[in-house]
Amino acid sequence: MALTVRRALACRGRRPPVLLLTVAMLCGVLIACGVLAVSPDAHAHALQAAGAFKGQAISGIANFVKKIEGNLVWLGGTSMGLVIAVVGIMFMAGHSRAHDVAIKTLVGLAILASISGIVA
């Protein structure tokens, strides 16, 4: 018992000063917030002055985005099929958490299906 108390008292002097670290972190956060508060407005004005928000969309970029959307839909359908298969196997094996996983899967699917309405 005495050795434990002595070691605990000896280790107290090795700890870094918490107050100094806290003040440094708060200063960093304040500086970062100041930079973020000033910079978005400046970038938007610079882009508008350069004519970034005028005209039509670039056809190559629109085509690329369309292909990426198609790939994401395919990936989502494949992963959903895999999840349904795994939950079905869990039910067939009599897993105790199969109902919980199935409910969470349905809730996640409902959120994904309604995400466009949530964003809008």
State both tokens at 31: 């500086």
Mean pLDDT value across the chain: 76
34: pLDDT confidence band, cut at 50, 70 and 90?
confident
Which of 4-8, 39-43, 52-56, 91-95 has the largest mean confidence?
Answer: 91-95
pTM of the model: 0.43
Please indicate, yes or no, whether residues 77 and 95 belong to a single structural domain of this protein.
Answer: yes
Which amino acid makes up residue 14? R
Residue 53's pLDDT is what?
Answer: 67
Q: What angle separates helix 59-93 from helix 98-113, to the nearest 10 degrees?
A: 160
Write out pLDDT tens, residues 63-73. Answer: 888 888 888 88
Which amino acid makes up residue 22? T
Please indicate, yes or no, whether residues 61 and 116 belong to a single structural domain of this protein.
Answer: yes
Please indicate, yes or no, whether residues 64 and 94 belong to a single structural domain of this protein.
Answer: yes
What is the count of structural domains for the chain?
2
The rounded distance, in Å, linking the Cα atoms of 50 and 30 is 31
Q: Which domain holds residue 91?
A: 56-120
State both tokens at 87: 């939950």
